[in-house]
Structure 1
Amino acid sequence: MNILLLGATGRVGSIILDLLLKTDHCITVLVREPNKLPFQRSNLKIITGDVLNEKTRTNALSGIDGVISSLNTDGNDTLSKTAERIIPLLVSNNIKRIVTIGTAGILNSRVDPAILRYKSAESKRKSQTAAQDHEKAYYLFQKSNLNWTIICPTYLPEGEITKQYRIEEDFLPLNGQSISTGDTAHFTVNEFFNCKHIGKRVGISY
């Protein structure tokens, strides 16, 4: 399988890349700063550029079978802009599978399931800008016919892979407080291949 990874130099994305490179699959990464990649591998293809650039985006998706995105939001609607541009390309290239990293803020609230967590009393966010961008991207995927899954971690400190975490569709696991970057990456890679939560947001925490 040929897999495109977006956000490969980020905190979670770098761990996802390491996990993917241990498989027999061919991995393509689209990065703006390739010097941040600490290694070269025979099954790694590096494309330098911005995902919002049409030519770069089209080149990166050529011959790809599935996509994992751990792109961060940056206050400029990068996530929703990326989703808006990449979804039609996935469709036209018959690429069905995509897994993205979201935020627990776009899960349903337990105190009021009719609204999202970041809009509810559960949220401790001082700013809603990042969650709003994640929400826009979520609704774009929801309207598509892709086999999408959005992984929604809560507080995300650096940490190792323990494989001892809880998940729940559409909600954050009860009393979930944190989840490591390592375990978030581990679940993301497993879900990409196992396809157990198609068309769902998945909360993840300890």
Structure 2
Amino acid sequence: MKLLILGATGQTGQLLVRQALDQGHVVKAVVRTPSKLTIQHDNLKVVKANIFSAESLVEHFNEQDAIMSCLGFPMSIFSDVTGYTESIEAVALAMREAKVTRLIAMTSWYTKPETAQEASWTIRWVLIPLIRKLLINMDEMENYLNNDCQDLRWTVVRPPGLQNAPKTDKEILTHEGYFVPGPDGIPIGNSVTRGDVARFMLSLIEEDSWVKKAVAMITK
């Protein structure tokens, strides 16, 4: 398939690019700084574009089978995070103009911070306050997809904390919610490898069960 990957220079994005190429897909990586992506492959094309501009994106979206986003944005102590919503609005518009309908985008567990009530003390009282602005903007992006993009076949993938490690052969557990609970309702674990997130995202390309839904995932 022809896959366009946003956020391809990030740690998860690079693993997604490599796995997609290994699976035989033709990959177009849309990046802000092409020199940061050092992967070379006959089936990889790296292009520069403005992720906040539909006009800049649409020429690259043409003839793609799916758009995959590992975009991430930095925290700001003094201002709100807006990158997730600003980029997804441009992406959605470009998808419509290019007549591409499939979107798989990554956010996080606990995009509604109040859903972390059963998480560990460290997550509730240290991590969540630290990244609250990121989670709020991720939640705003999810709401935008749910409320304004019902014409698109989107899926939001919510992983927990990310380990900088390749994929494993572990079983992937999923849940339609803000975390993956065990039988007692307590979140199962608190981290997953970036490689396994990429592996799961690729498994969704031709999978319809999570279309127009957000899915939390972790490995067993």
Q: TM-score, normalised by structure 1?
A: 0.87
- 1:167 pairs with one of 159, 171, 174: 174
The match for 1:32 is 32
The match for 1:78 is 83
The match for 2:192 is 179
Q: Report how far residue 129 of structure 1 moved.
A: 0.6
Distance in 2 between residues matched to 1:172 and 1:163, nearest whole Å: 21
Q: Report how far residue 14 of structure 1 moved.
A: 0.6
8 Å Cα contact 1:163-1:186 kept in structure 2 = no
The runs of 5 or more residues in structure 2 that have no matched partner are 76-80, 182-186
8 Å Cα contact 2:158-2:216 kept in structure 1 = yes
- 1:146 pairs with one of 126, 147, 152: 152
Identity %: 19
The match for 2:78 is none
Query: What per-residue deviation string (whole Å, max 9, x for no partner) do you get for residues 20-67 of structure 1?
Result: 112333211111121221222111111113211344212221222210
Q: Which moved more, 1:133-142 or 1:87-96?
A: 87-96
CA root-mean-square deviation: 1.7
Q: Report how far residue 92 of structure 1 moved.
A: 2.7
Query: What per-residue deviation string (whole Å, max 9, x for no partner) do you get for residues 111-134 of structure 1?
Result: xxxxx3x13434621231100110
Distance in 1 between residues matched to 2:91 and 2:48, nearest whole Å: 17
The match for 2:138 is 134
Distance in 2 between residues matched to 1:54 and 1:204, nearest whole Å: 30
Q: TM-score, normalised by structure 2?
A: 0.82
8 Å Cα contact 2:53-2:90 kept in structure 1 = no
The match for 2:209 is 196
Q: Report how far residue 167 of structure 1 moved.
A: 1.3
Q: Report how far residue 194 of structure 1 moved.
A: 2.4
